[in-house]
Amino acid sequence: MATALEHGSHHGPKPGGSERQFGLVFAGFFVMVALLPLIRFDPPRWWSIPVALVFAVVAMARPQLLRVPNRLWLRFGDLLHRIVSPIIMGAIFFGCISPLAWIMRRAGRDLLALKRDHNIQSYWIDRPRQPQDAAAMKRQF
């Protein structure tokens, strides 16, 4: 039996970026760390320039040396995802959706028509039929 749901694709090892990309991104990051104080007319962070150069040279010459740091960085990102995502989703739910639902209930609004009405025979919503022409079906998307 075929199902429409995809099972298990988000679990297990995730393919990461290349080691060269990892090294160049970190080199760019450390260049930004070095130059960011210049915005406030402070001296640059000179210690960051050699670190950026090391990352750039290793990324271009021997990117395989960055395999372990790249994998550790991916694991760290996955750990952050497992911690931060539920917190953010909970904050959105309890900070936005729940108060809005409470306000709607207090106002007597039932947008989904979830309340039972014992005085009606059917919950069917009769909609007016609009004529369909063949031209409306050609380019639907």
- Residue 28 maps to a domain: yes
- Residue 123 maps to a domain: no
Distance CA 98, CA 109 (A): 14
* Whether residue 27 sits in one domain with residue 40: yes
In this prediction, residue 126 has a pLDDT band, given cuts at 50, 70 and 90, of confident
Q: Which residue segment(s) compose the domain that 71 sits in? A: 63-110
* Whether residue 105 sits in one domain with residue 68: yes
- Residue 5 maps to a domain: no
* Whether residue 104 sits in one domain with residue 77: yes
Of residues 113 and 68, the one with the higher pLDDT is: 68
* Whether residue 90 sits in one domain with residue 56: no
Residue with tokens 């007319």: 41
Point out the least confidently predicted range of 15-24, 25-34, 70-79.
Answer: 15-24
